[in-house]
Amino acid sequence: MRLEGKVAIISGGARGMGAAEAKLFAREGAKVIICDVLEDEGRQTEAEINEVGGDAVFVKLDVTSQDEWENAVNTAIERFGKLDILVNNAGIIVQSTIEDMTVELWDKVMDVNAKGVFLGTKTAIPHMKEAGGGSIVNISSISGIVGQDYVNAGYNASKGAVRIFTKAAAVQYAKENIRVNSIHPGPIATPMTAEGRADPERVALTAERTPLGRYGEPEEVANAVLFLASDEASYVTGSEIVVDGGYTAQ
């Protein structure tokens, strides 16, 4: 198993990509702390993992709260004795033009998508240093690499922040054997994209703009996260993996 003996925290782990990551990590031998504000769905994912022999625990986490981050990390330490992997997966997306976007909405997007990654990383690093190293995987987006005419610019900005924060953290903590990398999904079939996928014109446009001609599946992102979290990526830090069906290659 590729994560045998590892302990992992996954934010936004209740559903979508986060749940796919949690289930894959558990199958590969990791002890998993599923963190989310969605308690019912988080506990369902916890149960699904444990029912098939995995080892998972759900912890309620608002990623904008430093106190709740400290509780999540302390749960990992108290329950499993260490922390090897952090996946900063939690995120939100909103629909608004720049001129119509309120300051409050801008702050909300930046708080969840960017500050949440900062707080998770900040809280995890001391324990990873104690363990002799670790792997942090930040879920950004292709929206952190390119501008898009149908995406809220605040979302682009927040995911761009995740991208460059990842590189800075990787450089600053490499000597501590802490690797920090980012994943940049394109259009993925998750609850977050459900509204757009209900519009046949939007689905057709996505297929047209994506060389592979379809939305990706959460498991296809999870496979890339697994690689970066595992020791197979021991010489990979400050890098980004784009999982977008070729969207940004054009």
- Residues with catalytic annotation? 155
**Of 219, 240, 229, nearest to 16 (Cα)?**
219
Residues 122-147 as b or e (16 or more Cβ within 10 Å = b): ebbbebbeebebbbbbbbbbbbbbee
Tokens at 246, concatenated? 């070729």
Evaluate the CA torsion angle 42, 82, 62, 29 in order and state its sign: negative
CA dist 154 → 96, 110, 142 (Å):
9, 7, 14
Tokens at 22, concatenated? 């949690």
39-51 and 16-27 helices cross at what angle (nearest 10)? 20
User: Cα–Cα distance between 174 and 221 in angstroms, integer?
Assistant: 25
